[in-house]
Chain A
Amino acid sequence: MANIPEDLRYSKDHEWVRVEGDVAVIGITDYAQDSMGDVVYVEMPNPGDNFNAHDAFGSVESVKAVSEIFTPVGGEVVEINEELNDSPESVNDDPYGDAWMVKIKMDNSGEADALLNAEEYSEFLQSEAD
């Protein structure tokens, strides 16, 4: 069973969000990294880029697959995790910690509140599996 921390919010595209004031820290879930296999590259936006909720802001690559990553919330990218350039494997090893991907200053923090909580995401995964 995938690890789903209680204190985060989740999207149905398998991104997680941690709200810190008006900033959303975003990464991909344990379930997502597990289905990708060995992650070899994370393509990220530039600080200053603006996105609407549900826009693709980057992609995650394994050896033979590529998946887009969508931002669950709209806003401006204020920071990206440069560490992932050198150690993309941390997406596999620590998806909720070292492998955060971007920090977005939210235009509307209500978007984060509308996301799934841990229990709902867990149910969603269960329904996907059925």
Chain B
Amino acid sequence: MRYIPNSAEERAEMLRDIGLSSADDLFRSIPADILLKRDLNVIEPMAENEVIAEMERLADANSAAKKVSFLGGGVYSHFSPTIVDYLIQRSEFFTSYTPYQPEVTQGTLQYIFEFQTLVCQLTGMDVANASMYDGSTAMAEAFLMAQRVTRRDKVLVLETVHPEYTQVAKTYTQHGELVLETIGFDSSTGTVLESDLAKLDDHTAALVVQSPNFFGAIEDLDALAEKAHAVGALLVVVVTEAISLGLLKTPGACGADIVVAEGQSFGVPMSFGGPHVGLFACRDKYVRQMPGRLSGIAYDKNGNRGFVLTLATREQHIRRDKATSNICTNQGLIALAATIYLETMGKKGLEEVAVQNLQKAAYARNKIDSLEGYSATFDSHGFNEFVVTGPKDAESILKQLADDEGILGGIALSRYYNNHDNDFLVCVTETNTRAEIDRFVEALAAAG
């Protein structure tokens, strides 16, 4: 086995050195009746090129990966500078662990500090943690945090929050006191249904809104913050398309108390849904109720600046069942990828890529909206996603596009919403060329 340095002879010598006669002796402390007395029924060892060949066979069977795609819905195809994937593969980053020993993990601690800073800059918030597993689990943690901060037990979630996120939050909160209630959407704007905001009351811990929402529509966060704050509730803002942060008014400037986001758009491959990275930011005054790790500045006795994990008393290894979360570490390497992406794109790039998404999506939306039989379902301002109502069942249109034209035209809303059989969610990013968009529009016309 090439991953095990010691040869069979060396292992035999070592056994002799410690007074054992065979490898079986190593397991004498395991009662004989629970020892496995046969070989595992897994594959015989494969050579390197055999593993590659098998993996390529499987990857080939993911035919969708090669197609022109307009899929979004929480996972986005964006350009990632070459150096992102190059740098995260430095041994010192990818084969190290949580920075428990600051003297030999300053590289990790400093990039986490930079990541925290960038998340604050992008969201307009005071403080951000070292990251969560992904956007969905970050949102669930935000619910629990809002409950701790307000000592209230009701969370109002807009139906236009990513449905899988809400499902995760339901799982996380099913055994506590927290009750989730939904707020509907206006059928013409696709944004919050004003009349449902009457559910806000003095039991409400948080109002939870995604913007741009699952339909791609931008919500009026200022107004929602005002309404939430009027009853003493927090405003939790969810962002699944983090590229939008480069252009939209920040959730912080709108009055958000907690912001959670999926950072996959920042240079991270889609990878069939993970690993991605959850961003988590809040107001300064709530930092001690925040889940997750934090890196902060510290000095050594010679006055050298360094970084340490700090405010650790919130965490499970100290507070155990009273911790702010059971999360142990963070999403290290993916947070690093996001950090490298953000720094490489920089001030100018983050704005340019956001503008390109906005422009291309608007171009596609106008073209599709002018097709006979198709229309943009909602009339709100959007970013890079929008819902289209087609002339017939969306699933059949999308299947036809995939089979005949090799185009993945979107996500049928029926996957998540009832009574929207003809509607599908289209996403256009900077990676979609005009030629692709034009071909997509033609294919839609033919399919309709």
Chain A interface (Cβ < 8 Å from any Cβ of B): 41, 43, 61-66
Contacts and interface: CB of A to CB of B under 8 A. Distances in A.
B313 interface: yes
A65 B312 CA distance: 9
Interface string B309-322: 00011000011000
Contacts of B319: 66
Nearest to A43: B288
A41 B319 CA distance: 15
Nearest to A62: B313
A51 to B, nearest CB: 16
**Among B312, B313, B319, residue most surrounded by chain A Cβ atoms (within 10 Å):** B313
Given A65-B313, A66-B313, A66-B318, 7 more contacts: A41-B288, A41-B313, A61-B313, A63-B312, A64-B313, A64-B318, A66-B319
B281 to A, nearest CB: 21
Interface string B257-300: 00000000000000000000000000000001000000000000
Contacts of A43: 288
Contacts of A63: 312-313
Nearest to A66: B313
Contacts of A64: 312-313, 318
Contacts of A41: 288, 313
Contacts of B288: 41, 43
A61 B315 CA distance: 12
A66 B312 CA distance: 10
A14 to B, nearest CB: 18
Nearest to A63: B312
A72 to B, nearest CB: 22
Interface of B is mostly: helix
- Chain B, interface residues (CB within 8 Å), range: under 10
A102 to B, nearest CB: 18
A33 to B, nearest CB: 16
Contacts of A66: 313, 318-319
B297 to A, nearest CB: 14
A63 B311 CA distance: 7
Contacts of B318: 64-66
A17 B347 CA distance: 56
A65 B318 CA distance: 6
B283 to A, nearest CB: 16
A62 B311 CA distance: 9
A64 B316 CA distance: 11
Nearest to B308: A63
B325 to A, nearest CB: 15
15 contacts: A41-B288, A41-B313, A43-B288, A61-B313, A62-B313, A63-B312, A63-B313, A64-B312, A64-B313, A64-B318, A65-B313, A65-B318, A66-B313, A66-B318, A66-B319
Contacts of A62: 313
Nearest to A60: B313
B150 to A, nearest CB: 14
Contacts of B313: 41, 61-66
A64 B314 CA distance: 10
A61 B311 CA distance: 9
A43 B312 CA distance: 15
Nearest to A65: B318
Nearest to B322: A66
A57 to B, nearest CB: 15
Nearest to B310: A63
A63 to B, nearest CB: 7
A11 B331 CA distance: 44
Interface string B362-387: 00000000000000000000000000
A111 to B, nearest CB: 27
Contacts of A61: 313
Contacts of A65: 313, 318
A80 to B, nearest CB: 16
The 10 nearest A-B residue pairs measured at CB: A61-B313, A66-B313, A66-B319, A66-B318, A64-B318, A64-B312, A65-B318, A63-B312, A65-B313, A41-B313
A43 B319 CA distance: 14
A66 B314 CA distance: 9
Nearest to A59: B313
A40 to B, nearest CB: 8
A12 to B, nearest CB: 22
A118 B157 CA distance: 56
A102 B319 CA distance: 23
A58 B39 CA distance: 56
A61 B323 CA distance: 13
B82 to A, nearest CB: 41
A91 to B, nearest CB: 14
